[in-house]
C-alpha cells in the first residue's frame, strides 16, 4: 500500500489526486528505475481490477533494494 502522509491526507486530497494505491502483488506488471537530478525513484506499472493499466513514480532511497523486496511479492 502506498499512501500520502500529513498534510497531504487533509481534505480528501488522496482521493481527488489519486495519491493512494492498494495493489495486489500479482497486479504489478513492471518496475523501472526513474532517476532524476535530485531524487532516485522507481516507476511502478500495474493493472487495476478492471484491467486498466496505470503507473506512478515512487521516490525511494534504495531503488535496488526496493525492487528486490517487491520481486517475491509479485510472484504470489
Stated pTM of the model: 0.72
Per-residue model confidence (pLDDT) at position 2? 53
Q: Spell out the per-residue pLDDT of the chain, length 76, in tens.
A: 455 556 655 665 555 566 667 788 889 999 999 877 777 889 999 998 889 998 988 888 888 998 998 888 887 6
Torsion of CA 33, 17, 13, 31, to 10 degrees: -20
Count CB atoms within 10 A of the CB of residue 36.
Answer: 9
Grid coordinates standing for 20? 493512494
Per-residue model confidence (pLDDT) at position 20? 66
> Which of 20, 23, 1, 33 has the alpha carbon at shortest distance from 76?
23
Per-residue model confidence (pLDDT) at position 17? 60
Amino acid at each position: 500500500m502506498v499512501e500520502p502522509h500529513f498534510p497531504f491526507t487533509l481534505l480528501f486530497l488522496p482521493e481527488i489526486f489519486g495519491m493512494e494505491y492498494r495493489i495486489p502483488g500479482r497486479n504489478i506488471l513492471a518496475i523501472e528505475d526513474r532517476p532524476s537530478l535530485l531524487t532516485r525513484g522507481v516507476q511502478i506499472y500495474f493493472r487495476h481490477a478492471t484491467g486498466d493499466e496505470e503507473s506512478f513514480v515512487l521516490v525511494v532511497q534504495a531503488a535496488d533494494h526496493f525492487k528486490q523486496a517487491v520481486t517475491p511479492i509479485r510472484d504470489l
